Amino acid sequence: MSDFKQAALDYHALPTPGKIAVAITTPAETSADLSLAYSPGVAEPCREIAKNPEDVYKYTAKGNTVAVISNGTAVLGLGNLGPMASKPVMEGKALLFKRFADINSFDIEVTHKTTEEFINTVACIADSFGGINLEDIKAPECFIIEKALIERCKVPVFHDDQHGTAIVTAAAMINALEIQGKKIEDANIVCLGAGAAAISCMELLIQCGAMREKVYMLDTKGVIHTRRSDLSEYKTRFANNTDKRTLDDVIEGADVFLGLSGPNLLSPEQVLKMADNPVIFACSNPDPEIKPELAHSVRSDLIMATGRSDYPNQVNNVLCFPFIFRGALDVRARKINNEMKIAAVHAIRELAKQEVPESVLKASGETALSFGKGYIIPRPMDPRLCKDVALAVAKAAVDSGVAALPLPDNYMNDA
């Protein structure tokens, strides 16, 4: 671990500090070039944009630029570290946008005293970008912030910790249930955790067919039920009319366990209580709710997923967010709506059923991958994700009426 820590620190510090930089996209070698890039030539696109604000997409990089914005109140699994300590994560997100979807990105860390100050800050700068990716903002403020910004901004706003996690989880979950011979509408689901990611995952799974009355959500005080008086409006949606109070109670006969909570909270004895052919997503990072080897030691009929790259079936947001924005930007979507999210779910899960190219096997360090218990979701290095997910999202944006542009001719055919 000490070697890995030093390697991670060196990666971020060397050869120059940080992970992103600005590149020039036009010639800037001569006096003539500079006269076009800045004064006096830059006045011409300024005049055109003043006459027609939509020309900003024609003459600037706005249409292919996303801002990654955080206040640092929920950094990875590390908690409230503050804006500056979140900066390596936000730079990492910018790196992923560029690496996987060729989207330019700037990280912005906001210091504020109130939620309203954060909202006002982001709303005032939003038009500089083609989209806003909110990141690492704690619940329940993240719900308030995203809702307000969606209402105030003319560009799509997407809190990845909520919706990116939900999209990838739903894609993997539906596939896992299919392999186990189960339907999502019949599944009894236990969700350990009631933060932003957990609530968004459950809402999207319900939109994909799960039954709300079959969902049991737990927070630090136990099962969220109708007789509790300490629930936020977001938790109240999952208040179950039940006498069950503990994880031990609700895990009995459960088809699905989804953990978005903390390490080592699901015991082998609880795994044994689950229904035949269970599905366990232990997504706490870096340490899951139960280690896969421990779960497999007591059940041979389960499908297991985690948030870690060193185990099969990693639930990884990078399978989603770059391509959601790629599709949204390419048709100039005003927002990222439920139709676009569900389209992404199905595009991701269907890709897992296709034959895996040799290039993906090599990049993933695998000799073989095929749809089944150990491969329920594509690997992050699969280049087909950009084409399939962006196309599905762009088409859904157009079909649902939130796109300003039609689907481009032969869109993604050459991707």
Active-site annotation, residues: 38, 93
Q: How would you write the chain as a 3-class SS string?
A: CHHHHHHHHHHHHCCCCCCCCCCCCCCCCCHHHHHHHCCCCCHHHHHHHHHCHHHHHHHCCHHHEEEEEECCCCECCCECCCHHHHHHHHHHHHHHHHHHHCCEEEEEECCCCCHHHHHHHHHHHHHHCCEEEECCCCCCHHHHHHHHHHHHCCCCEEEHHHHHHHHHHHHHHHHHHHHCCCCHHHCCEEEECCCHHHHHHHHHHHHCCCCHHHEEEEECCEECECCCCCCCHHHHCCCECCCCCCHHHHHCCCCEEEECCCCCCCCHHHHHHCCCCCEEEECCCCCCCCCHHHHHHHCCCCEEEECCCCCCCECCHHHCHHHHHHHHHHCCECCCCHHHHHHHHHHHHHHCCCCCCHHHHHHHCCCCCCCECCECCCCCCCCHHHHHHHHHHHHHHHHCCCECCCCCCCCCCCC
78, two tokens? 């590390």
